[in-house]
A and B are shown apart, each in its own frame.
Chain A
């Protein structure tokens, strides 16, 4: 059974930083695309970032140059380093498996329970 468990959310001040983590199990982590998707309170879903099995990464324009996605395949872990945080970054952040590297990325097959990030002074 695929399990994704996020951690690291909390309260940050505008301009501050947070690092989110996602512990993965139940699948071959090293051969899968992984994503972060967020949902502002009471709003819809927004894709944030994608990382390929080999480490290539992509970002939504709204977070480019502020957020960095990375992974540690030896520990089955995914991370999101968030810098220069803004109030509009307030959201639940979900870790989501994006499929095996044989396929094309872009879907979100399983999701974690999410971790809430609040950016406020």
Chain B
């Protein structure tokens, strides 16, 4: 199965700063990659799919990029509600798999 490795494990930033989270796949997933946000005690929420398409209702400060094996999620200017755990997920190679997550914490 395709292994997704996210980095860093934890990212400490302040509100207003720019965040860049990385996801690397063990084999090409073309652009079939999604990003999810999960806050404590809540279900995950889809942010980005097909590498760069924002899901319904997702603010424009969230953007996705990449293709093949290297992908990034960028949050242009952090809001207080953005501090959470972020997961990447691929659907190119069956079964669908998730990365281990990046915790974005307030510095």
Contact = CB atoms under 8 A, between A and B. Distances in A.
Contact size class for B?
20 to 34
A112 B92 CA distance: 24
A70 interface: no
B98 A44 contact: yes
Contacts of A60: 95
B60 interface: no
Contact of B45 (A58, A111, A112): A111
A112 B42 CA distance: 9
A107 B91 contact: yes
A47 B43 contact: no
B91 to A, nearest CB: 3
Nearest to B101: A44
Contact of A111 (B32, B44, B89, B96): B44
Nearest to B42: A113
Contact size class for A?
10 to 19
Given A60-B95, A106-B96, A107-B49, A45 B43 contact: no
B34 interface: yes
Contacts of A113: 42-43
Interface in B91-107: 91-92, 94-101
Interface string A81-121: 00000000000001000000000111111111110000000
B83 interface: no
